[in-house]
Chains A and B, each alone.
Chain A
């Protein structure tokens, strides 16, 4: 159904132009500020060293991981009803990760030095070292897997092995990314051995949001332009999975909030009480970006409707971006080791340069996405009857890896 892809036509060209202009403008603005003022153009400081650029990277990296995990449903676990989205999933995972890495690169003090000091010094004790290793492995596997599909190899032995390798890489990458924060006992708001589970859940939620949005965008926000298996998926398993991971996300937020508000530890308690729940932006992102989409997706009649799915994906985009932002900043907002010398939580709002980095990453994502839709056949799926896929979507056909 690639001839139904809106991105291949003038609409795609228009979006490509707008995205490219925004990308160039935001990059130029951020770069000029960073070159002229250095990191003084950011509102981060020695008391709060990680700000919105890190949150943006985290958001993109986890959305990519979520897409990688969704892609493993048909490729590793044999849920064939997900075949219609798997190629787009893998492509999106790749470009979202590239976009996140671009934002991170702009935030680092010496990005090019990183290319040689990390491999030559092999600091295997550092979770950040492994973050680099696993995300590079993730990128390589995503590319490899995409290449296999592009060559029409969906069920070959190598293809399955690459799929399993990719699944393991994405689990390690996002789980380890959680531990970059979760192993920091000196930052009690983050310190949590179960953080990888929370990251897996929210990664899949943000991945689904990206997948639903970009799938609809490719088809002009109309299900009529979609193939029958894709329509079946959007009416069947996918919204149910979306509801389930949103529910899991809410559960995690709830238990973290309850323990946070119960504890006497000021580095957790005050983060929840005086920062997160005191912030209208956090409240809005929680209720409108996670709770409301969850409630909507619980309703069988609503969750199948295209406008509802599109709206939910946009709300979850915003909700989970805010979740990442407040997570990253929340871990640093209580002044560290200052006692009563500091009366207030550390004040931080992102600077215009930091916003321009977030916009740059998003514009890069859109630019690469349209290019991909134009140049590649992202709707491709293995040759199988639409009827059998519909049957699989309804859960009546057992499916196994490689079968």
Chain B
């Protein structure tokens, strides 16, 4: 079985947020439930201030702290599914300990105050156990893997679009949207990335493009000191998020 990994080249990323939009459409997430987000921040001061951005999916860690803390095994790392970390919505009790334990802040409890008005849960009230039921839904639903529109009271997260990736032919080294016979298996954020800053493939395959990119362009993992060992690598300058600093008091 492959070990799926993602490579994001920050030298190519334009911060257009097409990935975030594609993810939200593919997975029917609510505003604020940003399985795939782009962080914008700055460093330095005028005249040499920098505007930076960082796309951020779930890191699908090799040693995921969210899995260790979950008291019910609702959050689990499935080595038979490429090492993707899933949430079993039939087991999740909504204790939110995984959200505390995730160093990357990429877990969401959508049953909270709406980010935007009108509240889409009021506009499209939930049915069949769903927290909300938008009129256009991905037909793929797999609550054991946290795929589809979640019920109330559970935690949700990026699944690397397993409902697509999981159907890829066995032995595939890279899921590249430019290969016509593979494009349907490519995660939504990768497929939609206009500047082609994202790559997706098998980290266990030494010949995969993702491994070559990581080797050739010095791929790094974020917050590596936590020991979580993400399966998402970043290339290019500025693969980090500066430390929190409160707004200067004027």
Q: Does the CB pair B73–A121 fall under 8 Å? A: yes
| B interface majority secondary structure | loop
Contact of B65 among A38, A121, A186, A340 (CB under 8 A): A186
Q: Does the CB pair B107–A184 fall under 8 Å? A: no
Give the residues in chain A near B105, CB-CB below 8 Å.
46-47, 336-338
Q: Does the CB pair B152–A121 fall under 8 Å? A: no
Contact of B112 among A44, A339, A344 (CB under 8 A): A44
Give the residues in chain A near B99, CB-CB below 8 Å.
46, 49
Q: Does the CB pair A46–B109 fall under 8 Å? A: yes
Q: Report the bound CA distance from A128 to B101 in whole Å.
A: 12
Contact of B246 among A39, A331, A344 (CB under 8 A): A344
Kindly state whether residue A185 has any CB partner on chain B within 8 Å.
yes
Q: Does the CB pair B97–A337 fall under 8 Å? A: no
Q: Does the CB pair B70–A335 fall under 8 Å? A: no
* Interface size in chain A (residues, C-beta < 8 A): 51
- Nearest opposing residue in chain B for A128, CB measure: B71
Stretch from A60-68, A104-112, A152-160, A299-307 forming part of the interface with B:
A104-112
Kindly state whether residue A149 has any CB partner on chain B within 8 Å.
no
Kindly state whether residue A9 has any CB partner on chain B within 8 Å.
no
Q: Report the bound CA distance from A342 to B154 in whole Å.
A: 26
Q: Does the CB pair A40–B73 fall under 8 Å? A: no
CB distance from A381 to the nearest CB of B (A): 39
Q: Report the bound CA distance from A185 to B100 in whole Å.
A: 10
Q: Does the CB pair B226–A185 fall under 8 Å? A: yes
Q: Does the CB pair A184–B72 fall under 8 Å? A: no
Q: Report the bound CA distance from A47 to B111 in whole Å.
A: 13
Give the residues in chain B near A72, CB-CB below 8 Å.
none
A 249-261 binary contact with B (CB < 8 Å = 1; else 0): 0000000000000
Q: Report the bound CA distance from A221 to B94 in whole Å.
A: 43
B 15-41 binary contact with A (CB < 8 Å = 1; else 0): 000000000000000001100000111
Q: Does the CB pair B41–A274 fall under 8 Å? A: no
CB within 8 Å: A-B pair count: 151
A118, A123, A266 interface centre (most CB from chain B within 10 Å): A123
Interface residues on B, range: 35 or more
- Nearest opposing residue in chain A for B131, CB measure: A38
Give the residues in chain B near A126, CB-CB below 8 Å.
68-71, 97
Q: Does the CB pair A109–B244 fall under 8 Å? A: no
Interface residues of B in 63-85 (CB under 8 A from A): 65, 68-74
CB distance from B146 to the nearest CB of A (A): 14
Q: Does the CB pair B241–A109 fall under 8 Å? A: no
Kindly state whether residue A345 has any CB partner on chain B within 8 Å.
yes
Give the residues in chain A near B107, CB-CB below 8 Å.
46
Q: Does the CB pair B95–A40 fall under 8 Å? A: no
Q: Does the CB pair A109–B72 fall under 8 Å? A: no
Kindly state whether residue A125 has any CB partner on chain B within 8 Å.
yes
Interface residues of B in 89-129 (CB under 8 A from A): 91-97, 99-105, 107-114, 119
A39, A46, A184, A334 interface centre (most CB from chain B within 10 Å): A46
CB distance from A55 to the nearest CB of B (A): 14
Kindly state whether residue A321 has any CB partner on chain B within 8 Å.
no
Kindly state whether residue B170 has any CB partner on chain A within 8 Å.
no
Contact of A129 among B71, B91, B111, B119 (CB under 8 A): B71
Q: Does the CB pair A337–B68 fall under 8 Å? A: no
Kindly state whether residue A117 has any CB partner on chain B within 8 Å.
yes
Give the residues in chain B near A336, CB-CB below 8 Å.
103-105
Give the residues in chain A near B113, CB-CB below 8 Å.
40, 43, 45
Q: Does the CB pair A38–B40 fall under 8 Å? A: no
Q: Does the CB pair B241–A40 fall under 8 Å? A: no
Given contacts A45-B112, A49-B96, 4 further A-B contacts (CB under 8 A): A39-B152, A49-B100, A186-B101, A186-B102
Which B residues fall within an 8 A CB radius of A? 32-33, 39-43, 54, 56, 65, 68-74, 91-97, 99-105, 107-114, 119, 152-154, 223, 226, 241-247
4 closest pairs, A vs B, by CB?
A109-B94, A109-B153, A186-B103, A49-B96
Which A residues fall within an 8 A CB radius of B? 38-40, 42-47, 49-50, 108-111, 113-114, 117-118, 121, 123, 125-129, 131-132, 180, 184-187, 266-267, 270, 274, 331-332, 334-345
